[in-house]
Amino acid sequence: MTTKGPQSEHPSVTLFRQYLRICTVQPSPDYGGAIAFLEEQADQLDLSCQKIEVMPGYVITVLTWPGTNPSLPSILLNSHTDVVPVFKEHWHHDPFEAFKDSEGYIYGRGAQDMKSVSIQYLEAVRRLKSDGCHFPRTIHLTFVPDEEVGGHKGMELFVKRPEFQALRAGFALDEGLANPTDAFTVFYSERSPWWVRVTSTGKPGHASRFIEDTAAEKLHKVISSILAFREKEKQRLQENPHLKEGAVTSVNMTKLEGGVAYNVVPSTMSASFDFRVAPDVDMKAFEKQLQSWCQEAGEGVTFEFAQKFMEPRITCTDDTDPWWAAFSGACKEMNLTLEPEIFPAATDSRYIRAMGIPALGFSPMNRTPVLLHDHNERLHEAVFLRGVDIYTHLLAALASVPALPGES
């Protein structure tokens, strides 16, 4: 089999590959190239295009398809434009060439996370508009920067601005993960990232002596306590087949710092940890647990947060909920099997949910290995195109949800 020529390639696939070639890789993304691409799509689709600079160089692009009843809260389709770094020596093809092999796999950084979803949104709107469809609810497509490094210069700032409030979002969709089985994963909540740095101070001196009360000894006690907690959560996950990874709290030690020379006992050492706190955890009690681990290690042991998200929210997945009923009902009509889960990492959905807006994380990629942030990130063109079909049905259902109690 030979690779299809550009004339026989589906236009949606061609557009997807064009978007993948815009090098929006951290830490220096070509945001200008992405915005120009999106402005061109807005022009082609006859959508209004608004650009909101939340801080210098960080622009939220909003494309809008007005509904027939603009007084109703809108549907928000969110995606991020940035992608994570690559190690080109580990890739079979240039990660920004959007190479398509003879089997139809498209290689590119962002193929799964999440440029595919951005284009699926756009192509679903294109189909619905070309079919002459009109829906009561307005649809907003937001394309945001900075997600891959925490969203602190993107969605976290945007949700606090009047321009976000003016969108009057009633329900949102954002990214999910691929699923290697026939099923599709949908995320209704996510764990909260806590990045914690523990610093231990102790007596310094010559490394030939048995010095008491050293920074290393005390830090070792904290590390042991935290890793013992890690083992308990790991066992809880392994022993309960009904639990998914997002339902337990994970932690990994990611940095160990201190010391100046082999023969000098340092007065200060530190360890950094990446906690992902499950949404049902009592946050205040868990912070007290951190404090007690430090206190038990001895005097002069403290901790500080590099990141601390404290507002976990859970989106309803009960059939009595109109948004879930519309989403899951459309999936049932397409014979899709859904697996609702808690997202194990973090996305911009957490900022949206914290504003009281229900949000689901959904990337329609089944029978596909999870390759986000991995070498040779890729997506089959047939899976991508089916995702356009799926979003076409989902948008029609969600934008047609009738006025809910309390909505004007």
* 77: confidence class by pLDDT, cuts 50, 70, 90: very high
Q: Beta 58-65 vs 48-55: how paired, if at all?
A: antiparallel
CATH number at residue 336: 3.40.630.10
Q: What would the mean pLDDT of 351-374 be, rounded to a whole number?
A: 97
Residue 401 is classified by DSSP as P
CATH number at residue 203: 3.30.70.360
Residue 353 has pLDDT above 90, yes or no: yes
The CA-CA-CA angle for residues 90, 95, 96, to 5°, reads 160
User: Which of 270, 293, 308 is the C-terminal boundary of a domain?
Assistant: 308
Asked if 147 is an active-site residue, the reply is yes
Q: How far out from the chain centre does Cα 46 lie?
A: 29
How much is the average pLDDT of 288-298?
98
**Cα–Cα dist 180/210, whole Å:** 54
Side-chain-side CA neighbours of 1 within 13 Å: the count stands at 8
Q: How far apart are the first and last CA of the chain?
A: 56
Q: DSSP for 186-235?
A: EEEEEPEEEEEEEEEE---EETTS--SS-HHHHHHHHHHHHHHHHHHHHH
Question: Quick one: pLDDT band at residue 15, thresholds 50, 70, 90?
Answer: very high
Instruction: Answer yes or no: do 75 and 207 share one domain.
Output: no
- Expressed as residue numbers, the domain containing 368 is 11-190+312-398
Do 265 and 254 reside in the same domain of the chain? Answer: yes
pLDDT band at 408 (very low <50, low <70, confident <90, very high): low
Whether residue 321 has pLDDT greater than 60: yes
131 and 406 in contact (C-beta within 8 Å)? Answer: no
* Statement: residue 370 has pLDDT above 60: yes
**Residue 28 belongs to a domain:** yes
pLDDT tens readout for residues 187-232: 999 999 999 999 999 999 999 999 999 999 999 999 999 999 999 9
pLDDT average, residue stretch 130-152: 97
Bridge partners, 265 (sequence order): 205
Helices 31-45 and 11-20 meet at what angle, rounded to 10?
160
Shared-domain flag, residues 279 and 326: no
Of the residues 113, 146, 147, 348, only one is catalytic, namely 147
Backbone angles phi, psi at 63, to 5 degrees: -105, 135
120/20 same-domain check: yes
**Average pLDDT across the chain, whole number:** 96
* Judgement on whether residues 67 and 136 belong to the same structural domain of the protein: yes
What are the residues facing 140 on neighbouring strands?
64, 76
* 15 assigned to some structural domain: yes
Q: Which residue has the higher pLDDT, 303 or 407?
A: 303
Model confidence at 7, pLDDT cuts 50, 70, 90, reads low
Contact 234, 339 (CB under 8 A): no
Is 167 a residue whose pLDDT tops 70?
yes
Residue 180 confidence (pLDDT):
98
Query: How far apart, in whole angstroms, are the C-alpha atoms of residue 390 and residue 117?
Result: 11
Would 405 be classed as within a structural domain? no
Judgement on whether residues 28 and 149 belong to the same structural domain of the protein: yes
- The residue among 278, 308, 338 that closes a domain is 308
Indicate whether 221 and 325 sit together in one domain.
no
* Predicted pLDDT at 43: 98
Q: 152 and 44 in one domain?
A: yes
User: What pLDDT is recorded for position 8?
Assistant: 87
* Same-domain status, 273 and 291: yes
Tokens encoding 164 = 């976000």
In a domain, 146, yes or no: yes
By the 8 A CB rule, do 16 and 116 touch?
yes
- 339 a catalytic residue: no
Show Cβ contacts of residue 374 under 8 Å, excluding neighbours closer than 6 positions: none
On whether both 155 and 24 belong to a single domain, the answer is yes
177 inside domain: yes
Residue 138 and residue 75 in contact, taking contact as beta carbons nearer than 8 Å:
yes
Residue 404 resides in a domain: no
Could you give the CA distance from residue 319 to residue 6 in angstroms, rounded to a whole number? 44
Mean pLDDT to the nearest integer, 342-365: 97
CA 219, CA 311: separation in Å to the nearest integer?
Answer: 29
C-beta neighbour count of 355 within 10 angstroms = 15
- Same domain (yes/no): 38, 178: yes
Amino acid at residue number 276: R
Residues 271 and 348 in one domain: no
4 in a domain, yes or no?
no
pLDDT at 3: 47
Residues 6+ apart with CB under 8 A from 93: 99, 101, 107, 376
Nearest Cα residue to 257 out of 194, 208, 193, 197: 197
What pLDDT is recorded for position 6? Answer: 52
For the chain, how many structural domains are there in total? 2
pLDDT band at 2 (very low <50, low <70, confident <90, very high): very low
Residue 237 has pLDDT above 90, yes or no: yes
Task: Please indicate, yes or no, if residue 6 is contained in any of the structural domains.
Answer: no
Please report the pLDDT score of residue 406 as a whole number.
Answer: 86
Average pLDDT of the residues in 288-310: 97
Among residues 308, 341, 372, the one where a domain terminates is 308
Beta pairing partners, 25: 83
